[in-house]
Amino acid sequence: MKTIRIGMIGLGTVGGGTAAMLEKNRGFINKTANANIVMDKILVRDINKERPRVNPDLLKLLTDNPDDIFLNEDIDIIVEVMGGVELALTYVKKALNLKKHIVTANKDMMAVHANELFDLAEKNGALLLFEASVCAAIPIVEVLKKSLAGNKISRILGILNGTTNYILSKMDSEGIEYSNALQDAMDKGFAESNPESDVMGYDSGRKLAILAAIAYNMRVEYDDVFIEGITKITADDISYASELGYRIKLIADAKYIDGGVKVNVNPVFMPETHPLAKVDGIYNAVYIESDMAGETMLYGKGAGAEATASAVVGDIIAIAKDICENSIANTGYTLFNDRKILGHKNAVSKFYLRLDVRESPGVLSKIAGVLGDHEVSIYSVVQAKAYAESAEIAIITHGVVEENMQNALNEIKNLKIVNEISSVIRVEDK
């Protein structure tokens, strides 16, 4: 049985989980890979840092000298789990140029530099696998690249961030405001002390860029993704959504339209009958629409040491098998399609509007008139709250070009009868 030696960069949460899984399931993993997989060296920034939870045998493998990994001819696979972008990118590029195979869990790096790394891997005949960079334990990269490779994918809808899904689920189930749900997520360890990347939608945007590039065989970068977060969602919005037959989810959406691809991350009113509307808590899910397979959904844990380690180890086994069978080919992520990224201004969507208006005759007709002037038609209206001098109305529109919707909103907010446009949220068609 051939010995496959691993050099790992980083020993944080994911690195520790990966090392622990390789040890815990060693016998099974080696039989699956038909190889003896051995951890050889682990590169860390500070070799003297206290690591009380790490197996003492692993501590013997620590080094702070990159040459111990990159210039070590015995190491076959380098596993990058250090996080960050610039230094990780430098290390991965160096490894690929040395024809070392790479497994990475780094979504930040892949979302911005995937195209460059794909080209470098192909040039050097090295494998670059990154399943863990998107939805941890959910094998979505493998499914898109292999299982659905013969399908024309028309759309990908995903809940790609467990923190935001937990917050929205908490708001829904308990009727609490965003700030309270966020604090609960922090208290339970589901949100970082600085949760900006999650709640502003940046994390989902990075993952979507990776998925869209694979699904449509085209170059998609993080900056191509139009992003809105969940910080403006209120308990009132959650309540209206429920009343109208929806649940609010942060949805990553990649859609093929007439030769182009639209990529965006937004809070969305999802019909309560849609499978994604039923995904709660810290779980992730990816819903795929394709021509032959039809509708497919993958569901599972999208974060955490064990879930992410599961994907990392799966990629290690895949490369080990290829090495043992002398079947190494390039990564196959050939981005051959010259499709364009579509701007969101021309996208068509239904919208939910929540307005605080003056209590006076003809308010709705005036608002409807402005909407009509911009080719926005109303699907449904709810007036749930009325006060002495004001009222709150919720409107759902028919499908409308986004630019028309924004122009209408700019006019509506200047009407004397409108105190405030409280919320604007996209609506998935039932």
Q: What angle is formed at CA 178 by the lines to CA 198 and CA 270, rounded to 5 degrees?
A: 75
CA 356, 350, 430, 270 dihedral sign is negative
Residues present in the chain in total: 430
From the number of C-beta atoms within 10 Å of its C-beta (0-12, 13-18, 19+), residue 329 rates as exposed
DSSP 8-state secondary structure symbol assigned to residue 205: H
**Angle subtended at Cα 206 by Cα 214 and Cα 135, rounded to the nearest 5 degrees:** 70
**Contact at 8 Å (CB) between 42 and 78?**
no
CA gap 270, 146 in Å, rounded: 29
Short-list 230, 203, 25, CA closest to 106: 203
> Annotated catalytic, 321?
no
Of 207, 255, 262, 350, which residue is the catalytic one?
A: 207
Q: H-helix or E-strand containing 246?
A: strand 246-257
For tokens 């990776």, the residue is 210
Match 């600085």 to its residue by tokens. Answer: 194
- Residues annotated as catalytic (active site), given as ranges: 207
